[in-house]
Structure 1
Amino acid sequence: MSTSATPATNNPILKSHLRITRPTNSISSVLPFYTDGLGFQIIGSFEKHAGFDGIMLGHPKLSYHLEFTAQEGHDAGRAPTQDNLLVFYLPEVEEWKDAVGRMEKAGFEAVKSWNPYWDAHGKGRTFEDVDGYRIVFWNEPWGT
């Protein structure tokens, strides 16, 4: 793995907005996990675009958003492993508790993490959506 001590300040990737996209068999079934549980907003959608429907979730001030697509006649299947994760670093304990509580209030129960690191020391909670993809709320800042 090659790493550089000096970041490329003229690299446009470092200033770009990131869209994370994945397929699902049912956009309406996956929505409650990300809207009610995570609190994302619907920021865009489309229907019947070359056989695809899609919805974008996020918040206007975030530098990323999630997109879920469904293709007519295609079985998207489930997550390939239980270690397909989005990890949210929430260093403030009250904010972490609020995030966990929001998921639970929306009807989602924490699951045992595939990688035991995320369950270590009571700092992580893992939740799984209807397609088997998971998110982790981690109660530490990034980089610790």
Structure 2
Amino acid sequence: MTLEQARIRIARPTDNLDALLPFYRDGLGFRVLYEFGGHGNFDGVMLGHPNAPYHLEFTVAHGHIAGRAPTEDNLLVFYLPQRNRFDAVYRRLRAAGFLPVPAFNSYWDDKGVTFEDPDGYRIVLQNASWDL
């Protein structure tokens, strides 16, 4: 397998899994794919979509403070070129109680909207195609 065919897991620590679940599960519509507790000193959850080539993992290390995002420019960007899909995710985040925040880099405000999770990490919903 080459990297072009790889699946990706984006993993990061948190201090509160319960605070993140409403954002990623209810707001963004990710499914809980796997949960674990007492794995060494770690508890965690993996979220994603069963057929997507990526998922997110959040872990709590007991006795360790993860803290908040180091900057306002730590982003996950989701390109949603179909306006109806973009609008649906936007509405779902708002219905889950999350409000948009101004992007640190105003580029993302042109065709997108930025939301901040409970740890201060940000996601951008970009209503554009990813043409590189």
Match among 104, 112, 120 for residue 124 of structure 1: 112
Could you tell me which residue of structure 2 aligns to residue 55 of structure 1?
Answer: 45
The total of aligned residue pairs comes to 132
Match among 64, 78, 82 for residue 92 of structure 1: 82
Give structure 2 stretches of 5+ with no counterpart: none
Measure the CA separation in 2 of the matches of 1:81 and 1:130: 14
- Tell me which stretches of 4 or more aligned residues in structure 1 moved more than 4 Å: none
Measure the CA separation in 1 of the matches of 2:88 and 2:46: 24
Superposed displacement of residue 49, structure 1:
1.1
Superposed displacement of residue 131, structure 1:
0.2
Structure (1 or 2) with the larger CA radius of gyration: 1
- Please provide the CA RMSD for this pair: 1.0
Match among 5, 8, 13 for residue 3 of structure 2: 13
Could you tell me which residue of structure 2 aligns to residue 6 of structure 1?
Answer: none
Give structure 1 stretches of 5+ with no counterpart: 1-10
Measure the CA separation in 2 of the matches of 1:85 and 1:126: 9
The TM-score with structure 2 as length reference comes to 0.96
Measure the CA separation in 2 of the matches of 1:46 and 1:65: 15
The TM-score with structure 1 as length reference comes to 0.89
